[in-house]
Amino acid sequence: MNNKVNGHTGDFIKRQAKKIKKQENISHVQALDKASINAGFKNWKHFLNASKNLEQDISQTKPATIQKVNPYRNLLISAINTLLDKRIISLNGKSSDSENGHIFVELFGYPSVILWQDIGFDELRISVWWKYNHELHPQANLTGNARENFNGSSPLANRIHYKKFVGVIASGWLERSTGKYLQGKNREAIFDVYTRKGEKDELEKQSLQKPKAFGIEGKVYI
């Protein structure tokens, strides 16, 4: 809605409406209508319809493009969507549930583990172990500190054993304080990555995930 319609954007009209509401002590809807009229429209709905028509015209004149997202980032987006759907985490800071934990789920049709940990400043570390087989984990049934506890971003086992029980491992940071987004761009800020031979090609074939009310990329805070 930030395309200019008759020289005005939705953000501009909203800013004007905010001033009008304060000056005239009227409702937000009335202020939007007045600001829209001042900008040359019949009302706010008229502006919205005009803006929608403009966006359709622009999309029809532009060549179709296929959005590409780093496959590890796409995997993390799928994991975050799952946690949000299950109401395990919140984008508005701490929820009533634990900010540290793990769940066994299916991602892209394969058994996986999603891990999350509060690292301060309303930021979460999100980790995914894709194509995970717990029965083949060499430390699945050990005792004490040697047993897999799902507290870290990567399994406890020596990396040389990963290929036996996991296909892909990736971690990222979910920002929730200065904005709602997965930090970094493309491959940036995706860490502790492991990829079993042949799995990246498989991961790249998975459907593009649409984030649920958060951005797929943004500023990195280190």
* Global confidence as pTM: 0.69
Run means of pLDDT, 10 residues per run, the chain, 222 residues: 60 84 89 88 82 54 58 97 94 67 96 93 93 96 92 93 97 93 94 96 95 93 68
Report the 3 state secondary structure along 53-111.
HHHHHHHHHCCCCCCCCCHHHHHHHHHHHHHHHCCCCCCCCCCCCCCEEEEEEEECCEE
- Residue 189 backbone zone (phi > 0: left; psi -120 to 50: alpha; other: beta): left
- pLDDT at position 46: 84
According to the model, what pLDDT value does residue 56 have?
54
pLDDT attached to residue 203: 96
How far apart, in Å, are the Cα atoms of 204 and each of 70, 129, 149, 152, 168? Answer: 8, 16, 29, 25, 12
Q: How far is CA 75 from the centre of its chain?
A: 10
pLDDT the model gives residue 66: 43
Yes or no: say if 147 and 139 are a contact pair by the CB < 8 Å rule: yes
CB-CB contact of 29 with 48 (8 Å)? no
Number of H helices, E strands in the chain: 6, 6
User: Which residues are registered as beta bridge partners of 125?
Assistant: 117, 173
Structure letter (DSSP) for residue 156: S
Strand ranges (E), 149-204: 168-175, 181-182, 191-195
